[in-house]
């Protein structure tokens, strides 16, 4: 039973922390790894769609950069624990108690990241006016639908509105 519980916990950690096993690609958004260029491009879109004032743009830029650095620090904290866990699991007979402790430590780090993200969400809300907050909250509610359509290839990008494989002549 203990091994089964550890296996379930390990699966949860591995699913929620896959970025720790390797350096993220430059487009990776998990754990705050967003370049200044991507922040600037996103802010141009937000400035238009939310009608942000110049001071809001500055505040949101600072918030995004702060988020990136904060989550980078958490990611660096978690990397050795994740590598330790992977090392233990490569052993022929890993110690279930040691694996369990490491999984629990990783879960704590994951919770720390979730708490930080909630703080950043609250800070963003404090920057926005009520109409802008409503727009952002509506987008949050629509995000699962967007991600579902996107994940199965039924929603293209701005560069490829009909999907990646749609020909221009169609």
Q: Which of 33-37, 61-65, 89-93, 142-146 has the lowest mean pLDDT?
A: 33-37
Angle between helices 96-127 and 54-90 (to 10 degrees): 170
Compute the distance between CA of residue 72 and CA of residue 79 in angstroms, rounded to an integer.
Answer: 10
Q: What is the mean pLDDT of residues 134-157?
A: 92
pLDDT-derived band of residue 94, with 50, 70 and 90 as boundaries?
very high
86 to 30, 79, 93: CA distances (angstroms) = 20, 11, 13
> CB–CB of 66/124 below 8 Å?
no
Quick: pLDDT tens for 44-69: 999 999 999 999 999 999 999 999 99
Q: Half-sphere exposure of residue 11, counting CA atoms within 13 Å on the CB side?
A: 6
Query: Model-level pTM greater than 0.85?
Result: no
**168 pLDDT higher than 60:** no
């Amino acid at each position: 039973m203990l091994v089964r519980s550890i296996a379930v916990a390990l699966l949860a950690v591995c699913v929620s922390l896959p970025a720790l096993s390797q350096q993220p690609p430059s487009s990776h958004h998990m754990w705050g790894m967003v370049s200044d260029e991507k922040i600037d491009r996103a802010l141009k879109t937000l400035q238009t769609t939310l009608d942000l004032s110049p001071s809001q743009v500055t505040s949101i830029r600072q918030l995004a950069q702060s988020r990136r650095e904060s989550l980078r620090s958490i990611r660096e904290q978690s990397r050795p624990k994740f590598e330790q866990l992977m090392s233990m699991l490569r052993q022929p007979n890993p110690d279930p108690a040691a694996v369990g402790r490491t999984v629990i430590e990783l879960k704590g780090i994951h919770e720390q990241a979730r708490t930080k993200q909630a703080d950043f969400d609250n800070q963003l809300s404090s920057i926005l006016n009520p109409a802008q907050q409503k727009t952002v909250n509506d987008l949050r509610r629509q995000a699962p639908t967007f991600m579902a359509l996107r994940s199965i290839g039924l929603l293209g990008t701005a560069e490829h509105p009909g999907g990646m494989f749609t020909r221009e002549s169609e």
